[in-house]
Structure 1
Amino acid sequence: MSYDRIAIRDRLARVSPTPETLLWGAILVTAELLALLLYLVQPNVTPTAIRYYVYPFIWINVGLWALFRIDPPAASRRRRYAASALAVGYFAVLAYAGGLVGSGLGEMATGLRIAPLPPGQGPALIYGGEAIRLVLFPYRIVGYVALAALVYATVLDVAGSAIGGVLGLFSCVSCTWPVIASLVGGVAGGSSAVASAALSESYGLSTVIFVVTVGLLYWRPFGGE
């Protein structure tokens, strides 16, 4: 068997789910469906498009899958420290760009509260302090932690793909895309159909890019191993 075929077989084996993974996956999806059902039957809840309930679960499920499947290669202590620093910095950039962390509200500080959002998006912990502002959506926390862990493993792997890390920076497109849409609106007009389309599709686009990024960082198809 050629080296290329062995490499392809090994990479396919890395992404093939084991029976145990399928079992826990089924349990997780069942729990999520139950939580969503309990949320929707509340009298004060007005249902919206189904995709907005599905997107957070995609982030959570893919993120958890990646976290449980990551197997960082052996490396020296110095390389592990360097990889850890890069991963922490990577998470900090995503957290800030994705709106999890922001500058404080000064004298307009509102304190701590919990927003009863749909499962996956919430319950979200929101803190508006004088020096710092936090908006902790569960699906983004899981997703960004998974990306940071994948970056850690990729840095340790000398055959890691640089393209995955680059794409990972755009996993927070749900935050950056409206900025781009605003720039387009400034050129084409505030009521531009292009700007409206960009804003409405940002959540779905960020989810697609997140899944693709996780796949690239985990599988690393462009590596040379």
Structure 2
Amino acid sequence: MATTSALSRPTRGDLLRAALAVNTTLILTFLYLLFTEASLGAPRYALYGVVWVVVGLWILFDSDVTPASTATKRKAAAVAVGYFAILAVAGGLITAPVPGGGDGLRVAFLPPGWGPALIYGGDLFNLILMPARVVGYAALAFLVYETVIEAAGAAVSGVVGLFSCVSCSWPILASLTTSVFGSGTALAATVTTLSYDLSTLVFLVTVVLLRWRPGFGK
């Protein structure tokens, strides 16, 4: 039994589930804006946040994993957990503490998708748990889990293996872009302005590549 290694034509059930997911997300977004202090902000940023959540949930709840041995599943799970941890650090979910910034736990009502964000400021580390990032990174980690399991049972060439690793690394590299250039240059300001655009594009491309996985055997 193959995983989702090919992008098949959506069934009626797939379309109904997609429509339900979109409608539910729109309703929840409306209620969130209505009953909290959150504002829509720049429309495209709110749209990006909703896209991350919808696509992430679609991956997590609409994927079939190739049957594999318990040992293979454990190895794949270890790789996926490690990948999520790297994304969490590179993407800013977990950061180093700021001197004098340990203000405990609070909720930030950011634009839809990015909020409500659970924020914790401690002496050892900070957490910034935005729904879009948490769900999106969990979806990418799950796709990596699927990829490792499928690779264990397929004749995957070295070129395809490298291709998969490169696609996995894109979200990490995109998240680290601003830190590479620092924060005091015009280039850094441009990168920061476009970071949501860039990270969303990379996220969507990575989802397509990891879900399709061209070259993997059936």
TM-score interval, normalised by the smaller of the two chains: 0.7 to 0.9
The alignment status of 1:67 with 2:67, answered yes or no, reads no
Q: CA deviation at 1:105?
A: 4.6
Report if the CA contact (8 A) 2:38-2:109 is conserved.
no
Q: Deviations over 1:36-66 (max 9, x none)?
A: 4445567966653311111011111111222
Between 165-174 and 67-76, report the one with greater CA deviation. Answer: 165-174
Among 150, 155, 163, which residue is 1:157 paired with?
150
Cα RMSD for the two superposed structures: 2.6
Q: CA deviation at 1:85?
A: 0.6
The alignment status of 1:168 with 2:158, answered yes or no, reads no
Secondary structure in structure 2 of the residue aligned to 1:156: helix
Q: Report the counterpart of residue 128 of structure 2 in structure 1.
A: 135
| Closer/same/farther in 2, CA of residues 164 and 208 from structure 1, 3 Å limit | farther
User: Considering only CA atoms, is the larger Rg found in Structure 1 or Structure 2?
Assistant: 1
Percent of residue pairs bearing the same amino acid type: 43
Letter in 1 for 2:26: L
The alignment status of 1:11 with 2:9, answered yes or no, reads no
Letter in 1 for 2:171: S
Letter in 1 for 2:167: L
Letter in 2 for 1:59: W
> How far apart, CA to CA, are the structure 2 residues paired with 1:12 and 1:30?
24
Report if the CA contact (8 A) 1:173-1:205 is conserved.
no
Q: Deviations over 1:137-160 (max 9, x none)?
A: 001111111111111110111246
Give ranges in structure 1 of 5+ residues lacking alignment. Answer: 1-6
Q: CA deviation at 1:173?
A: 5.0
Letter in 2 for 1:136: L
| Closer/same/farther in 2, CA of residues 174 and 111 from structure 1, 3 Å limit | farther
The alignment status of 1:94 with 2:97, answered yes or no, reads no
TM-score, normalization by structure 1: 0.80
TM-score, normalization by structure 2: 0.83
**More relative contact order, 1 or 2 (CA 8 Å, 6+ apart):** 2
